Amino acid sequence: MNKLPVVVTGASGFLGKYVCNKLRHYGEKVIEVSRQSGFDVCNTQSLESIPAFKALFHLAAHTYVPDSYNKTALFFNTNISGTINTLELCKKHNAQFIFAGSYIYGQPRSLPVNETHPTSLWNPYATSKIIGEELCQSYSKEFGLSTTSLRIFNIYGTGQNSTFLIPKIIHGVKSGSLELETATPKRDFIFADDVANGFYLRLIIRKNDLLPTMLVPV
């Protein structure tokens, strides 16, 4: 069994905390990469001290879509440059790269939306994630790097920023005053712990392997 550690970027973020806890639960040694731990994915020098590892979970990103319109350069710098830098780090260590993708389909042309649905540059955040996926494909094709993009949305769970929908609803119910912009849209939601379990499954399951029943998220 490979005893090398795994790296999680964005480890101090909402989803990063779930992923780190899940990996440790299954016995993995985790190197947390975040600004709180002294790293910056946009600064290659700050990543040079990371020792050899077997896989990197790239979660570090700016994610709040409304901010992507008035902080576009910041989103592109972090989400794109950060992805390039961590891909380079994985190339250096010949490590697996697992990318936290997102909803990149725009207004659905058909339902249900699946992986073959056309992608759409429908906001700056989605654009940064599409470019991130294309970078993964490029490094896989050109350098033989093992890369995976997981398109995860919409996540909810304890500790999520209050600007997101589920925390807003919970806060409104508790306070006795709930206001929604519209009650019409319908979304799929997934619990953060199930997402973390999915990331772990991708670490241990290779192509053509069977899913171990005991680890399938429920």
pLDDT means per 10 residues, the chain with 218 residues, are: 88 96 97 96 96 98 93 96 98 97 92 89 95 97 96 90 82 82 78 96 70 38
Structural domains of the chain sorted by starting position, each given as residue range(s) with its CATH number in brackets: 6-161+189-215 (3.40.50.720)
Q: Residue 80 and residue 139: Cα distance in Å, rounded?
A: 14
Whether residue 112 is preceded by a cis peptide bond, meaning omega within 30 degrees of 0, is yes
- The reported pLDDT for the residue numbered 210 is 44
Supply the pTM of this predicted model.
0.88
Closest by alpha carbon to 57, among 88, 26, 32, 38?
Answer: 32
How do residues 166-182 score in pLDDT, each as one tens digit?
Answer: 888 888 888 888 877 77
What angle do the packed helices 82-93 and 124-143 form, to 10 degrees? 20
